[in-house]
């Protein structure tokens, strides 16, 4: 007899960070694809406010949640930021490059 129940699950890495959440038919639970260093656990959680410790889904502390937010907002070094210029400025640069190539 087929049991068509659903199981909620989290996939987490070796550090307990939840990397994916979902649900599946209970008979498919053990067949979920996992990457290297990933593990699956039945239960409900999310990557923002939960983590896995000792095989259990637990709440992150407010400090952990805030620290994760800071990691996501790493500033981009100035030399890697995109330049925003006007079309007029771009045309001027192209013109100057043309002059340099001609030796002017």
Q: What are the structure tokens assigned to 38, written together?
A: 């990933």
Query: In degrees, to the nearest 5, what angle opens at C-alpha 86 toward C-alphas 80 and 90?
Result: 80
pLDDT score, position 40: 96
Instruction: For the chain, give every domain's residue range.
Output: 1-74
CA distances for 77 relative to 33, 82, 85, angstroms: 36, 10, 18
pLDDT score, position 8: 95
Decide: helix, strand or coil at residue 12.
Answer: strand
CA distances for 44 relative to 9, 47, 81, angstroms: 6, 11, 38
Average pLDDT of span 55-74? 88
pLDDT score, position 73: 67
pLDDT score, position 14: 96
pLDDT score, position 4: 64
Decide: helix, strand or coil at residue 58.
Answer: strand
pLDDT tens digits along 73-86: 677 788 887 788 89
Q: How far apart are CA 45 and CA 26, in angstroms?
A: 17
pLDDT tens digits along 2-56: 446 899 999 999 999 999 999 999 889 999 999 999 999 999 999 999 999 999 9
Average pLDDT of span 53-76? 87
pLDDT score, position 2: 43
């Amino acid at each position: 007899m087929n049991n068509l129940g659903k199981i909620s699950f989290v996939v987490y890495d070796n550090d307990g960070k939840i990397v994916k959440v979902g649900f599946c038919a209970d008979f498919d639970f053990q067949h979920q694809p996992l990457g290297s260093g990933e593990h699956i656990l039945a239960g409900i959680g999310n990557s923002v406010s939960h983590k896995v410790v000792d095989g259990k889904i637990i709440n992150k502390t407010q400090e952990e949640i805030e620290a994760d937010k800071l990691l996501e907002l790493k500033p981009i070094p100035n030399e890697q930021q995109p330049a925003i210029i006007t079309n007029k400025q771009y045309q001027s640069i192209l013109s100057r490059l043309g002059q340099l190539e001609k030796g002017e």
